């Protein structure tokens, strides 16, 4: 049985529908991320799990118990807010120990636990400081320590890294994931940053306009996106229009070039136009010519991105993005150069939806 | 949830009654001059009275002069502190707080002592000297508000950059001040001006102790001798104050004309 | 012409700084002549006798029963109007900001507070006479509609109670204006963070909200206190010289209505300034402290 389950969740704010339909089962110890653009309903959903909003319809269960109508202060959940929300009038120790103090734990126990938490987030000397004296990254770590101190059954994080600058974001990301794995705590993470989602999660829930587009492990979401939205939201993508030649064999034609795909084309008729996608890194430079799954075009631009050279290849109607590894040997593609690229059938993805 | 709403509405309703009652009562009282029916007779008497006209005119003129003198003192100060002398900001702001700490009556007492008939600068000895002293006292009273308004206005238009841009074009300080700075902080100056005007019109302590025929002492005199005219005057005073504040709000909302936000 | 052989370290030409100092000179001259020196001269005068010699005499004479009574009265009126003004003003601001009321109420309240806090002095006294005076609207209403005679039940507008009630008209809005920024600074996330950590509404107030707001509230009360202590126009118009608060006493001294003793007047002014100065200073200190927190 799953540890956290949300079934048939709907949320209306007056006339505005924030969440149209949400169903999810989360196993104990799992790290699940709600990923999507602003307004997709991910934060609203998180807040319903926390108890700050009540679903218009549907139920939320934690460890088998129905908590839908339970107030937040009775759910034993830890939460990290985007703006840290540390209490400015309490010291770091006061903040971290707050939950335990409310629960009436003895002072000795609180002190010990606070020390443990500070060690855990690697800020052992900061107990007597005030939040105003800390940097953004430090505040967020204290915020995490505060959320975890009372040993909650679930940890919620609402875009905790958005307010931090890029370098701190990257290191904190790893710290959070490492901590979560060590504590084996069920975690829900909300973000609009697909890099965070892919690198941290066991599973990703991609959301749009109050609905779930796809749920799956990061690799699956990335390599086998089910809809055009998911494909373009997660990673960069080349959008292609293909004409179906033989659905049973997966044969299509793209800009006059023959291609094969391993993606199922059920339901499509011969001659139909099918939306398809290719990741830039799945295209390889090749000398082959005339075979299937080969495109030939003219290099319009080649930008050096360090590990990768991002090439813009002009086909007849399409501008293809190709990521060429910078192996150090051989010259990088030049503007005006004619180039042939190839790909595997498994990498040509058929997309549904708009 | 509901309990909170009930409490909020109750507080607002009770306060509303407390604040509106005197306004309604004053207005109603002012209409009672002629027995038996309501009329605006009290207002007619007030506006027709020569004392009213001269007192109001006196205060209005003093008010305008106060605003001009105040602006002339404050504007360059705010400008130079922001541009060249940022170290002085602390002490300047401290000084602008003084009028809020020192009660008006103490201030005017100081004036009488320092500029009285037996002193080096016997301003109080002549009516004109007293008028000057009164006006300068009003500049002092309005200083906190005037300075804050103009300083905020200058900060919002990034005075430093504008000045440098003008200097590169060859402009000297007076040109910069009058043609570039002031037009851009027009609404701040006006806000400060209307606030100063509201203060001057109703002011009693300074005017009374310096023995000048201003609007404040006039009001008090009428209150001591007449029954219904004071109420009419109170309504007029309230409308003037409300009018000034309303204009300030409107200026604040329409924002300054060109605010250079990068 | 640029001298290219000059030292590499060049300071801005002195002329520019001089212009700046010249520009701010009028301000400092004005402040000195019409703010600082007059006040200072009063303070000095408080410690001088008629011949200019240093003495504590004037200060000691402040302990006369009649003067002490004045100070006591002033302190009472100021404290009462500050206390109730702070309480009600806080409730009003909290209701409008947090109370779930329609959004448009807040700007209306703030504008009205801006006007009302300036509507003191003579017109305010008139307004209250028209409301609660013997022939005032509310007095008549109570008599005719509720059969309740306000004045026979002991109330009198021209007493301590009446003055305090009148003072509230500008104290309450002043409190609302001053405390609104502090209330705005109370982030909603703090409440939610406290809640998710297990705190009840009351616990949140006790451990988080009140400790944060408390200093601001107290500081604002001090501001209200100082404001009331220094106010004279309203009192003079309302109760005239009959209610002997300190400003009225001082007023009489300055006007020469009583035995003209300027040095005693200076001492009175000194006492007033001491009280308002300390209160205002404390208010500013508390405000600076809580602003540091609210980063």
Give tens-digit pLDDT for C266-285: 888 888 899 988 998 898 88
Over residues A295-341, the pLDDT tens digits come to 888 999 888 888 888 889 898 888 889 888 887 777 778 888 888 88
More reliable by pLDDT, A115 or A262: A115
Q: Does the beta-carbon distance from B101 to C119 stay under 8 Å?
A: no
pLDDT tens digit sequence for B93-116: 889 888 888 888 899 888 888 888
User: pLDDT tens, A24-37?
Assistant: 999 999 999 999 99
Candidate from A38-42, A52-56, A346-350, B67-71 with smallest mean pLDDT? A346-350
Mean pLDDT across B23-50: 84
ipTM of predicted complex: 0.82
pLDDT at B259 over 60: no
In this predicted structure, the answer to whether residue A38 has a pLDDT above a threshold of 50 is yes
Place of tokens 């038996």: B36
Q: State how far the Cα of B250 lies from the Cα of B239, in Å rounded to an integer.
A: 16
At C47 the pLDDT is 85
CA B258/CA B254 separation, integer angstroms: 11
Q: pLDDT tens digits for C64-100?
A: 888 888 888 889 999 999 999 999 999 999 999 888 8
Q: Is residue B6 part of a domain?
A: no
Domain final residue, candidates A232, A262, A297: A232
CA distances from B255 to B152, B196, C117, C245 (A): 12, 20, 24, 43
Say yes or no for a CB contact (<8 Å) between B22 and C114.
no
Q: Are residues A210 and A287 in the same domain?
A: no
Number of domains in chain B: 1
Host H or E run for residue A132? none
Is pLDDT of B256 > 90?
A: no
What pLDDT is stored for residue A49 in this prediction?
95
CA distance C249 to C260: 12
Long-range contacts of B90-98 (CB under 8 A, 24+ apart): B92/B147, B92/C24, B92/C27, B93/B147, B95/B143, B95/C27, B95/C28, B95/C31, B95/C35, B95/C36, B96/B143, B96/B144, B96/B147, B96/B148, B97/B144, B97/C280, B97/C284, B98/C31, B98/C35, B98/C36, B98/C39
Q: Give the ranges where chain C is alpha helix by DSSP (H).
A: 14-31, 37-46, 57-61, 65-98, 105-116, 122-132, 137-145, 160-184, 188-196, 201-204, 210-230, 233-239, 246-255, 262-293
Query: Residue C9: its pLDDT value, please?
Result: 60
d(CA C15, CA A66): 78
Give the pLDDT confidence score for residue C15 in this predicted structure. 65
Most trustworthy range by pLDDT among A177-186, C111-120, C139-148: A177-186
Could you tell me if A98 and A162 lie in one domain?
yes
More reliable by pLDDT, A282 or C154: A282
Tokens of B141: 């009273």
- Report how far residue C124's alpha carbon sits from residue C233's, in angstroms, rounded to the nearest whole number: 9
Higher pLDDT, C181 or A353: C181
pLDDT at C260: 67
pLDDT value for B120: 78
CATH of the domain at A12: 3.40.50.300
On average, the pLDDT of chain B sits at 84
Q: Is the pLDDT of residue A352 over 80?
A: no
pTM (two decimals): 0.79
- Model confidence at B255: pLDDT above 50: no
- How remote is the C-alpha of B141 from its chain's centroid? 8
For the ranges A284-288, B144-148, B172-176, B182-186, the maximum mean pLDDT occurs at: B144-148
- Mean predicted confidence (pLDDT) in A270-297: 85
Q: Is A51 in Cβ contact with C196 (below 8 Å)? A: yes
Tell me the three state secondary structure of residue A245: strand
CA-based nearest residue to A149, from A186, A95, A86, A89: A95
Q: What is the DSSP letter of C48?
A: B
**Which pLDDT score, from 0 to 100, does residue A318 have?**
85
- Whether residue A203 is found in the same domain as residue A252: no
Domain containing residue B79: CATH number: 1.10.3720.10
pLDDT band at B14 (very low <50, low <70, confident <90, very high): very high
How confident is the model over C210-228, as pLDDT tens digits? 998 988 899 999 999 998 9
Residue B261: the pLDDT is 35
Q: Per the domain annotation, does B27 fall within a domain?
A: no
Domain endpoint, select from A181, A209, A232: A232
Compare CB distances from C100 to B8, B29, B76 and report the shortest one's residue: B8
Average pLDDT over residues C169-188: 89
Q: Which of A232, A254, A276 is the last residue of a domain?
A: A232
The domain of B174 spans: 50-254
Note whether C192 contacts A: Cβ–Cβ < 8 A.
Answer: yes
pLDDT in tens, A56-104: 999 999 998 999 999 999 999 999 999 889 999 999 999 999 999 999 9
Q: Which residues of chain C from 128 to 147 reach within 8 Å of chain B, CB to CB?
A: 128-131, 135-138
Position B262 confidence tier, pLDDT thresholds 50, 70, 90: very low
Q: Do residue C137 and residue B29 have CB atoms under 8 angstroms apart?
A: yes
| Domain interval for residue A250 | 236-350
Q: Contact, A83 vs C189, CB < 8 A?
A: yes
SS3 C17: helix
Confidence of residue B242 (pLDDT cuts 50, 70, 90): confident
Closest to A79 (Cβ–Cβ): which among C196, C200, C295? C196
Residues of A with Cβ-Cβ distance to C292 under 8 angstroms:
132
**Whole-Å CA distances, B131 to B66, B113, B145, B209, C198:** 11, 16, 22, 12, 66
Closest residue in C to A130 (Cα–Cα): C293
CATH topology of domain C60-293: MetI-like fold (1.10.3720)
pLDDT value for B64 = 93
> Which residue, among C14, C50, C127, C266, would best test binding to B if mutated, counting the most B CBs under 10 Å from its CB?
C127
**Among all chains, which residue has been given the structure tokens 């004392």?**
B51
Please check the confidence at residue A10 and state whether its pLDDT lies above 70: yes
From chain B, the residues in CB contact with C20 under 8 A are 80, 83-85
Residue A133 and residue A226 in one domain: yes
pLDDT at C259 over 70: no
Number of domain units in chain A: 2
Touch criterion met for C and A (3+ Cβ pairs within 8 Å): yes
* Structure-token match 């103490």, residue found: B106
Taking an 8 Å cut-off on Cβ atoms, the answer to whether C254 and B220 are in contact is no
Res C251: pLDDT: 83
- Per-residue pLDDT for A228 more than 70? yes
CATH code, domain carrying A298: 2.40.50.140
Region A110-114 average pLDDT: 95
Mean pLDDT along residues B52-71: 92
CA distances B36 to B28, B39, B226, Å, are 13, 10, 19
Which of A81, A103, A146 lies at the smallest CB-CB distance from C189? A81
Q: How confident is the model at residue B243 (pLDDT cuts 50, 70, 90)?
A: confident
**Is C148 a residue whose pLDDT tops 70?**
yes
Q: What residue ranges do the domains of chain C occupy?
A: 14-46, 60-293
Q: pLDDT value at position C4?
A: 56
Asked if residue B119 belongs to a domain, the reply is yes
Whether A12 and A147 share a structural domain: yes
Would you say residue B244 lies in a domain?
yes
Which residues from chain C sit within 8 angstroms of residue B199, using beta carbons?
118
| Subunits adjacent to chain B (3 or more Cβ pairs under 8 Å) | C
Write down the pLDDT at residue A276.
87
**Is the Cβ pair A83, C189 closer than 8 Å?**
yes
Average pLDDT over residues B70-82: 88
DSSP C176-208: HHHHHHHHHTS-HHHHHHHHHTT--HHHHIIII
Calculate mean pLDDT across residues A151-179.
91
């Amino acid at each position: 049985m799953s540890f956290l389950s949300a079934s048939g969740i709907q949320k209306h704010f007056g006339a505005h529908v924030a969440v149209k339909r949400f169903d999810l089962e989360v196993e104990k110890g799992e790290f699940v991320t709600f990923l999507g653009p602003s307004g997709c309903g991910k934060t609203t959903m998180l807040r319903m799990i926390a108890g700050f909003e009540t679903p218009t319809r549907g139920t939320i269960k934690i460890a088998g118990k129905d908590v839908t109508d339970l107030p937040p202060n009775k759910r034993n959940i830890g939460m990290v807010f985007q703006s840290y929300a540390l209490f400015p009038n309490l010291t770091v120790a006061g903040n971290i120990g707050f939950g335990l103090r409310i629960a009436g734990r003895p002072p000795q126990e609180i002190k010990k636990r606070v020390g443990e938490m500070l060690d855990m987030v690697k800020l052992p000397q900061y107990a007597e400081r005030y939040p105003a004296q800390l940097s953004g990254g430090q505040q967020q770590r204290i915020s995490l320590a505060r959320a975890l101190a009372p040993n909650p059954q679930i940890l919620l994080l609402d875009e905790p890294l958005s307010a931090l600058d890029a370098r701190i974001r990257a290191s904190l990301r790893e710290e959070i994931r490492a901590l979560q794995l060590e504590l084996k705590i069920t975690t829900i993470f909300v973000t609009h940053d697909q890099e965070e989602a892919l690198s941290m999660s066991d599973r990703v829930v991609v959301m749009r306009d109050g609905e779930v587009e796809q749920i799956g492990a990061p690799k699956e979401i990335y390599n086998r996106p089910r809809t055009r939205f998911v494909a373009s939201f997660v990673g960069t993508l080349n959008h292609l229009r293909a004409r179906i030649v033989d659905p049973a064999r997966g044969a299509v034609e793209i800009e006059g070039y023959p291609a094969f795909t391993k993606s199922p084309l059920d339901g499509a008729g011969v001659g139909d136009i099918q939306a398809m996608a290719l990741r830039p890194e799945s295209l390889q430079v090749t000398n082959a010519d005339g075979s299937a799954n080969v495109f030939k075009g003219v290099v319009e631009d080649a930008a050096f991105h360090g590990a990768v050279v991002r090439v813009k290849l002009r086909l007849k109607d399409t501008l293809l993005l190709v990521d060429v590894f910078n192996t150090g040997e051989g010259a990088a593609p030049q503007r005006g150069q004619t180039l042939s690229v190839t790909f595997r059938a498994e990498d040509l993805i058929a997309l549904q939806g708009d | 949830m509901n309990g909170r709403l009930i409490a909020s509405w109750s507080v607002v309703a009770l306060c509303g009654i407390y604040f509106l009652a005197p306004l309604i009562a004053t207005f109603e009282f002012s209409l009672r001059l002629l027995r038996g029916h309501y009329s605006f007779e009290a207002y007619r008497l007030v506006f027709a009275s020569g004392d009213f006209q001269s007192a109001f005119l006196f205060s209005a003129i003093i008010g305008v002069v106060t605003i001009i003198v105040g602006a002339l003192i404050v504007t360059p100060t705010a400008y130079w502190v922001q541009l060249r002398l940022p170290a002085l900001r602390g002490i300047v702001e401290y000084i602008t707080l003084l009028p809020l700490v020192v009660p008006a009556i103490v201030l005017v007492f100081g004036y009488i002592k320092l500029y009285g008939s037996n002193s080096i600068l016997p301003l109080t000895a002549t009516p004109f000297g007293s008028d000057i002293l009164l006006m300068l006292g009003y500049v002092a009273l309005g200083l906190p508000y005037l300075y804050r308004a103009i300083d905020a206005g200058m900060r919002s238009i990034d005075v430093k950059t504008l000045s440098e841009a003008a200097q590169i074009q060859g402009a000297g300080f007076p040109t910069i001040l009058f043609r570039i700075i002031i037009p851009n902080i027009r609404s701040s100056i006006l806000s400060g001006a209307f606030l100063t005007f509201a203060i001057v019109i109703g002011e009693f302590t300074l005017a009374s102790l310096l023995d000048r025929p201003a609007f404040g002492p006039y009001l008090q005199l009428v209150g001591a001798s007449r029954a219904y005219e004071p109420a009419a005057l109170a309504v007029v005073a309230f409308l003037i104050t409300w009018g000034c504040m309303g204009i300030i709000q409107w200026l604040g909302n329409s924002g300054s004309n060109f605010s250079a936000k990068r | 012409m640029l001298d290219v052989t000059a030292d590499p370290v060049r300071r801005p030409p002195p002329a520019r700084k001089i212009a700046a100092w010249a520009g701010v000179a009028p301000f400092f001259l004005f402040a000195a002549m019409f703010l600082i020196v007059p006040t200072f001269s009063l303070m000095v005068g408080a410690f001088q006798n008629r011949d200019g010699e240093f003495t504590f005499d004037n200060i000691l004479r402040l302990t006369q029963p009649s003067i002490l009574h004045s100070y006591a009265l002033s302190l009472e009126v100021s404290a009462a109007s500050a206390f109730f003004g702070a309480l009600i003003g806080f409730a009003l601001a909290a209701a409008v900001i947090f109370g779930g009321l329609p959004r448009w109420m807040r700007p209306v309240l703030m504008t009205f507070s801006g006007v009302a806090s300036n509507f003191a002095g003579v017109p305010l006294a008139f307004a209250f006479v028209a409301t609660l005076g013997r022939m005032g609207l509310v007095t008549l209403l109570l008599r005719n509609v509720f059969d309740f005679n306000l004045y026979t039940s002991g109330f009198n507008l021209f007493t301590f109670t009446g003055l305090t009630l009148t003072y509230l008209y500008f104290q309450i809005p002043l409190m609302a204006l001053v405390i609104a920024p502090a209330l705005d600074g109370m982030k909603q996330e703090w409440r939610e963070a406290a809640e998710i950590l297990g705190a009840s509404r009351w616990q949140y107030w006790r451990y988080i909200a009140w400790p944060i707001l408390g200093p601001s509230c107290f500081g604002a009360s001090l501001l209200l206190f100082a404001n009331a202590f220094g106010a004279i126009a309203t009192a003079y118009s309302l109760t005239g010289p009959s209610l002997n608060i300190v400003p009225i006493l001082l007023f009489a001294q300055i006007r020469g209505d009583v035995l003209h003793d300027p040095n005693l007047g200076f001492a009175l002014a000194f006492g007033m300034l001491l009280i308002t100065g300390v209160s205002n200073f404390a208010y500013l200190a508390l405000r600076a402290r809580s602003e540091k927190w609210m980063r």
